[in-house]
Amino acid sequence: MISQKGRTVVFQPEGRQVVVNQGVTLLEAARKAGVTIATRCGGKAGCLMCKVTVDPEQAEGVRPPSEAERRKLGSAIEQGQRLACQAAVWGDVTVNVPEDPFKAAVRRKLEAARRGEEDELW
């Protein structure tokens, strides 16, 4: 039987925190915290869009990867990469969510504009 003790999940780089029950997936925890993690497959490990990183020192904060998750991610698991739809919260953990590529491009453009750099594309 799974313990119902609350576990704290912190999503970086936003620093948003949420308390969830043990066994909840990181994807469900992110939604509860208002953190967007892209997915197309509805949490079935089919699209591989929900990759997140858990620091190897905090690996005990999530359930060990299943054989299916290991097949999907291969050696990336050793660097702490997990599928948010498959990794279940087992303890307090900090999760790094990659920045959306479109948002990253817009952020870089805005930062360049603030520095007064010309845009070579326009």
The answer, yes or no, to whether the previous bond of 101 is cis (omega within 30 of 0) is no
pLDDT value, residue 2? 47
pLDDT tens digits for range 20-52:
999 999 999 999 999 999 889 888 888 899 999
pLDDT tens digits for range 89-120:
999 999 999 987 777 788 788 888 888 876 66
Under 8 Å between Cβ of 14 and 6: no
pTM: 0.80
Ranges of beta strands (E only) in the chain are 6-12, 16-21, 51-54, 81-83, 93-96
